[in-house]
Amino acid sequence: MGVRSRILATFVVGSLVLSGVLFFFAFTLTRSNLRQREVELGLGDQSIGETLSSLRTSLILATVITVLVGLMLGIVSSERVVQPLVGAANAARAIADGRLDTRLEPTDDPDLNALTDSFNDMVARLQARVERDNRFASDVSHELRSPLMTLAASVEVMVSRRDELPERGQAALDLLVADVARFSGLVEDLLEISRYDAGAVRLTRDDLRVGEFVEQAIRASTLPRSTIQIDPRCATAYLSGDRRRLARVIANLIDNARTHGGGGAAVHVTPADDSAGHVWIAVEDTGEGVTDADIDRIFDRFSRGTGASKRGASEGAGLGLSLVREHVRLHGGRVWVEARRDGNPGARFVVELPCEAQAS
Ligand SMILES: Nc1ncnc2c1ncn2[C@@H]1O[C@H](COP(=O)(O)OP(=O)(O)OP(=O)(O)O)[C@@H](O)[C@H]1O
Ligand SMILES: [Mg+2]
């Protein structure tokens, strides 16, 4: 039984008991009074009966009214008691959704103020902690960026003189080049994530011709020869988007097809099935696909699929798809993974973005 029902039941039962007691005393006292003064007042049995019967009717009516009033008071009181709890539940939900500046309104009720104060205090501490953690990731990435740039520049100099190195030196240099590139990518991803956390991401929007843009992004990716199929209905469609970030989305999905999805990617650009004014950019591969358990999880930060290390792709940090989701969301779109539609094994990552027939 909920708090609301318990309060309501207390009021109804209370008013019922109270009116029952009043009913009993009023009726029995009046009856014995009338009987005692029957002769003195010259009342007959019939008139006493009639008087008692009309008294009973009035008392029953009074009982009904009392219970109804009790019910109404119960509803009002339970609403007043439950209201702050509903407010606290809504605030907790808002905080869980990331709105950390949510607070409970102070009330003039001293009993409730203890709850409000400790709740607000807890949220303030949580907010400070989350902000400190966000700043930490951003500060560390910034600090790492400059030595990393120096390292990359030095490595570049060594690469230009690679032929002068002995064979073992060349092998070591190749490993260094790969690791510096991976490290730079990781630091860039961490910086981008801290910008999202700080709410500091501003899109630099351009009108992009969908087909042309996807083709360019694929040419600049790690699998430039991937197959591209563009539905004629999308060839002239435009989307208003941030060129760098959307190219990153496509590059990340193609990179994943290369490392986790069997090595090849095919990209399909089609109008969205069910939402008009949207385009789908789908990247398909020929790997093992994504298991049901991983379908949502892999879009979380630092989350890698259960089969990732098994497939020998152990070097990824698990940030790529979380950034894809943030970029796409900021463009008013969504991204998900599903099985390939032609029934062949492999994953199909779909990016849905709003688009228009003409440039705005
Ligand atoms: N095309 C795919 N096929 C099967 N699994 C995939 C595919 N793409 C991603 N995954 C799974 O999703 C996980 C998360 O991908 P995500 O791109 O976020 O991280 P990552 O590729 O492991 O590392 P990073 O992109 O940060 O270098 C991967 O570890 C992999 O298990
Ligand atoms: Mg990746």
Cβ of 260 below 6 Å from ligand 1: yes
Residue-wise pLDDT for 226-243, tens only, equals 999 999 988 889 999 999
Cβ of 257 below 6 Å from ligand 1: yes
Confidence of residue 358 (pLDDT cuts 50, 70, 90): low
> Looking at the CA of 312, which ligand is closest?
1
Ranges 42-51, 58-67, 329-338: which has the least confidence = 42-51
Secondary structure of the chain as H, E, C letters: CCHHHHHHHHHHHHHHHHHHHHHHHHHHHHHHHHHHCHHHHCCCHHHHHHHHHHHHHHHHHHHHHHHHHHHHHHHHHHHHHHHHHHHHHHHHHHHHCCCCCCCCCCCCCHHHHHHHHHHHHHHHHHHHHHHHHHHHHHHHHHHHHHHHHHHHHHHHHHHHCHHHCCHHHHHHHHHHHHHHHHHHHHHHHHHHHHHHHCCCCCCCEEEEEHHHHHHHHHHCCCCCCCEEEECHHHHCCEEEEEHHHHHHHHHHHHHHHHHHCCCCEEEEEEECCCCCCEEEEEEEECCCCCCCCCCCHHHCCCCCCCCCCCCCCCCCCCCHHHHHHHHHHHCCCEEEEEECCCCCCCEEEEEEEECECCCC
Probe residue for ligand 1, chosen from 221, 298, 349 as the CB with the greatest number of ligand atoms within 8 Å: 298
Domain ranges of the chain: 3-99, 114-197, 205-354
Q: Provide mean pLDDT across the span 250-273.
A: 92
Cβ of 266 below 6 Å from ligand 1: no
Distance (angstroms) between ligand 1 centre and the Cα of 293 equals 14
Cβ of 261 below 6 Å from ligand 1: yes
114-197: which CATH architecture? Orthogonal Bundle (1.10)
> Looking at the CA of 300, which ligand is closest?
1
Confidence of residue 310 (pLDDT cuts 50, 70, 90): low
- pLDDT at residue 1, as a whole number: 78
Of the options 3.30.70.2190, 3.30.565.10, 3.30.70.20, 3.40.50.2300, the CATH number for the domain spanning 205-354: 3.30.565.10
Residue-wise pLDDT for 106-119, tens only, equals 888 888 888 899 99
